[in-house]
Amino acid sequence: MRLDKLLSALGAASRSGCRDLIRSGRVKINGVPAGSGADRVPSGAEVTLDGQALDTRLTRHVMLNKPAGVLTAREDTRQKTVMDLLPPVYASLECMPVGRLDKDTTGLLILTTDGELAHRLISPQRHVDKVYEAKVEGTLTGEDQAAFAAGVVLSDFTAMPAALQIMGPGLARVTVQEGKYHQVKRMFGARGKPVISLRRLSFGPIELDETLLPGQYRELTEEEAAALYAAAGMTHA
Ligand code: URA
User: Is 3-53 assigned to CATH 3.10.290.10?
Assistant: yes
Is residue 236 predicted with pLDDT exceeding 90?
A: no
H helix or E strand, kind and range, residue 180? none
Mean pLDDT of 56-72: 97
Pocket test for ligand 1, best of 64, 72, 82, 101 (most atoms within 8 A of CB): 101
Residue 102 falls in the annotated catalytic set: yes
Of the listed 102, 104, 129, 209, which one is catalytic?
Answer: 102
Q: What is the pLDDT of residue 222?
A: 96
Is residue 148 predicted with pLDDT exceeding 90?
A: yes
**Confidence band (pLDDT; 50, 70, 90) for 16?**
confident
Task: Spell out the residues 6+ positions from residue 147 whose beta carbon is closer than 8 angstroms to its own.
Answer: 191
pTM of the model: 0.95
Q: Where are the domains of the chain?
A: 3-53, 61-124+206-231, 129-203
Residues 79-111 have pLDDT tens digits of 999 999 999 999 999 999 999 999 999 999 999
Is 182 near ligand 1, meaning CB less than 6 Å away? yes
Measured CA to CA in angstroms, residue 14 lies from 39, 65, 84, 123 at distances of 17, 31, 20, 34
User: Is 129-203 assigned to CATH 1.10.10.10?
Assistant: no
CATH architecture of 61-124+206-231: 2-Layer Sandwich (3.30)
Q: What is the pLDDT of residue 15?
A: 82
Residues 104-132 have pLDDT tens digits of 999 999 999 999 999 999 998 899 999 99
Domains 3-53 and 129-203 share a fold: no
